[in-house]
Structure 1
Amino acid sequence: MNKVTVYSTNTCPYCTMMKNFLNEQGISYKEVNVQQDRQAAQRLVETTGQMGVPQTEVNGQWVLGYDPQAVMSLLK
């Protein structure tokens, strides 16, 4: 079972593209809105050193930005 989490904001077009891509592939994911959840935003920066979104965690590996090929390569 894949564990996929998308960290996003309300205003990020690439976040929407990433979620649409996952939906099209039939990949279930959890979304964390770092705009609404400041603690999650802080954890994200501490974990990845990056502020930008989307950041997608796939089975413990991180993909920065909209990079469907990288996501697919990390899926089991």
Structure 2
Amino acid sequence: MTIAGGLAVYFVIWWTVLFAVLPFGVRSEAETGEAHVEGTDPGAPVVPGLVKKALITSVIAAIVFAIVWYIWAAYDL
């Protein structure tokens, strides 16, 4: 696997994992019972925690990428 190919595979894995991680721990304005902010959707998250989720995504994607790289190298694809 070339460096460019590895980066491309990691990029795809990272975005896939991000979409899987995004819904965890999200509480909407309606669920928390806080006053609805005018102009926002009641289902909008109160605290999305995107930095924390990006870090978690990076760690999980690195683990998945290591497994993919190992399989790729082991079978000499």
Normalised by the shorter chain, which TM-score bucket? under 0.3
When normalised by structure 2's length, the TM-score is: 0.22
Q: Would you tell me which structure has more strand in proportion to its own residues?
A: 1
Please identify the structure whose Cα radius of gyration is greater. Answer: 2
Q: Would you tell me which structure has more helix in proportion to its own residues?
A: 2
